[in-house]
């Protein structure tokens, strides 16, 4: 079950990642650097508002989900989300009334928040029900719709707000497969008792998610303020590509393996969940190590294919630093950050989010005037490392009754990293040979990287794939 469940999520995320990269490629060719930067700026404010209002209920739902109480829990979280959307609307109206924001931009921000809320909530409820197929279809549908509707918006008007509205609509439409899977639960009524449980668990997340969203976008907001939308467009394009590459796969691991680990923990505690969590750590390390080798070995080709020529020089310079930031973000959010689902409280996430905001915003203010967008990249990477460290140390230093550690199979992780490093050295050596950077040389290097990835996945039995293949071969 684990292999099938995980591969469904990973496969859908891989296809969606390809489509999302295609979206970046198309958007950076249809839009000028300034237009794309303005779009990213509006989207950044939408992410901040979403994180401060509508994100916490879905995490509380997943953490407290109980099949016996599923209808009441679902009905309650739907009502909480509706209330949070109303609060977001009031915040937007207040910002316009006070002259802090313009009406059209605020409308675009609120549309983006509504679309994200609908999609993420529907998929989270379906994930808790282990409805992997419905979530996978929704993920793919969103990627297709963002590419299609976004391209139409840019080809039609070329305006950044129109692109935001198109992405919001794509999120809303893509939620339909997940909504269909959970339709029977949506008829459940609300429960005061369930609301108390969700709020008691999730109230620290209101602050921590708002802070985290601001921290995740503060580099972009500061770039937009200090350097302008043109600089933000190039920075955001390469950052989005790398985040998509790693965050998408990291999220797929969390969606699949952590869902199963949470179910096992409900039945037998952390001892029962530990084997699946160790498998999640190995899977993330495999994706991070070989993904990093891929980006560093083929960065010139990737940038040429995915980004427009106006983005090329800056993308190549920023890629190594933003690559490190993306890997750290993946481990922070999708492995060590998952500890809040197994601990008694969610306070640790608030501390990590606060540390992330202080590090990213503080270093951005200090470094951007001196180093430009490279300073923002360094600040973002450093902030992810600090927040990840807070999760690791906080889990170890917590009071005994709250102490929960995510298992880390160090020997296996070191073996995966060593295998990726050797593979990277081999690819670099081939690249130095005559013809190593030609079409045949690049094809050979890519084939060797794929072979190394497959060998490591087999050797370390990632998501039980080796065991599943052995059983199938034995049955045949």
pLDDT in tens, 317-354: 888 898 899 899 888 887 887 777 676 656 777 788 88
Return d(Cα 312, Cα 288) in angstroms, integer.
24
- Give the distance between the most distant pair of CA atoms in the chain: 71
Residue range 1-14: average pLDDT?
A: 61
The pLDDT of 76-105, averaged and rounded, is: 89
State the pLDDT at residue 248.
Answer: 72
d(CA 466, CA 476): 15
Q: What percent of the chain has pLDDT over 70?
A: 90
Alpha carbon 177 to its chain centroid, in Å, reads: 20
Q: How confident is the model at residue 313 (pLDDT cuts 50, 70, 90)?
A: confident
Is the pLDDT confidence value at 427 over 90?
yes
113 compared with 15, residue with greater pLDDT: 113
pLDDT at 290 over 90: yes
Quote the pLDDT of residue 418. Answer: 96
Q: pLDDT, tens digit, for every residue of 23-76?
A: 888 888 888 878 888 898 899 889 889 988 888 888 788 777 777 777 888 888
Output the six-digit token pair for 27: 């958007």
The reported pLDDT for the residue numbered 345 is 59
Cα dihedral 413, 418, 419, 421 in deg (nearest 10): 130
* Structural tokens at position 329: 């973000």
Give the model's pLDDT for residue 8: 65
Count of all residues that appear for the chain in the document: 476
User: Stretch 247-264: mean pLDDT, rounded?
Assistant: 74
pLDDT at 386: 92
Residue 273 pLDDT more than 60? yes
- Check: CB of residue 12 under 8 Å from CB of residue 140: yes
Judged against a pLDDT cut of 90, whether residue 176 lies above it is answered with yes
Taking alpha carbons only, the member of 243, 204, 476, 148 closest to residue 352 is 204
Burial of 428 (0-12, 13-18, 19+ CB in 10 A): middle
pLDDT score, position 20: 82
Mean pLDDT across 278-300: 89
Q: What whole-number distance in Å separates Cα of residue 146 and Cα of residue 149?
A: 5
How much is the mean pLDDT over the chain?
83
Question: Higher pLDDT residue, 346 or 273?
Answer: 273
Alpha carbon separation from 47 to 110, 112, 124, 318 (Å, rounded) = 10, 8, 17, 23
Nearest to 389 by CA among 342, 336, 323, 334: 336
């Amino acid at each position: 079950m684990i292999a099938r469940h995980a591969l469904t999520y990973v496969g859908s995320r891989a296809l969606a990642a390809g489509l999302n990269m295609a979206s970046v490629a198309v958007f950076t060719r249809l839009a000028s650097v300034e237009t794309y930067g303005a779009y990213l700026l509006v989207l950044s404010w939408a992410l901040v508002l979403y994180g401060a209002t509508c994100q916490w209920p879905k995490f509380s739902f997943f953490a407290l989900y109980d099949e016996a109480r599923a209808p009441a829990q679902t009905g309650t979280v739907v009502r909480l989300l509706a209330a949070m959307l109303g609060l977001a609307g009031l915040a937007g109206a207040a910002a316009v009334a006070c002259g802090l924001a313009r009406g059209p931009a605020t409308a675009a921000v609120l549309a983006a928040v509504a679309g994200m809320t609908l999609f993420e909530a529907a998929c989270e409820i379906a994930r808790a029900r282990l409805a992997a197929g419905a979530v996978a279809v929704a993920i793919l549908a969103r990627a297709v719709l963002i590419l299609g509707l976004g391209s139409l918006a840019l080809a039609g008007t070329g305006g950044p707000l129109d692109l935001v509205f198109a992405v919001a609509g794509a999120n809303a439409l893509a939620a339909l497969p997940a909504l269909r899977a959970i339709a029977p639960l949506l008829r459940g009524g609300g429960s005061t008792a369930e609301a108390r449980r969700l709020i008691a668990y999730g109230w620290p997340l209101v602050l921590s998610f708002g802070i985290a969203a601001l921290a995740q976008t503060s580099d972009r907001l500061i770039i937009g303020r200090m350097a302008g939308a043109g600089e933000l467009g190039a920075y955001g394009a390469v950052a989005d590509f790398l985040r998509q590459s790693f965050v998408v796969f990291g999220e797929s691991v969390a969606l699949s393996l952590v869902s199963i680990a949470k179910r096992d923990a409900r039945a037998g505690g952390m001892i029962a969940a530990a084997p699946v969590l160790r498998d999640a750590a190995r899977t993330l390390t495999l994706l991070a190590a070989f993904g990093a080798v891929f980006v560093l070995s083929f960065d010139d080709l990737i940038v040429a294919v995915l980004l427009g020529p106006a983005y090329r020089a800056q993308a190549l310079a920023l890629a190594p630093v933003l690559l490190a930031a993306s890997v750290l973000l993946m481990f922070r959010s999708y492995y060590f950050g998952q500890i809040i689902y197994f601990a008694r409280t969610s306070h640790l996430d608030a501390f990590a989010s606060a540390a992330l905001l202080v590090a990213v915003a503080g270093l951005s203010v200090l470094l951007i005037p001196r180093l430009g967008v490279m300073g923002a990249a360094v600040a973002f990477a450093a902030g992810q490392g600090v927040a990840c460290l807070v999760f690791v140390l906080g889990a170890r230093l917590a009071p005994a009754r709250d102490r929960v550690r995510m298992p880390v199979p160090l020997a296996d992780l070191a073996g995966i990293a060593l295998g990726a490093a050797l593979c990277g050295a081999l690819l670099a050596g081939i690249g130095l040979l005559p013809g190593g950077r030609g079409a045949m040389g690049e094809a050979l290097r890519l084939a060797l990287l794929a072979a190394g990835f497959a060998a490591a996945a087999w050797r370390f039995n990632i998501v039980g794939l080796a065991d599943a293949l052995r059983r199938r071969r034995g049955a045949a």
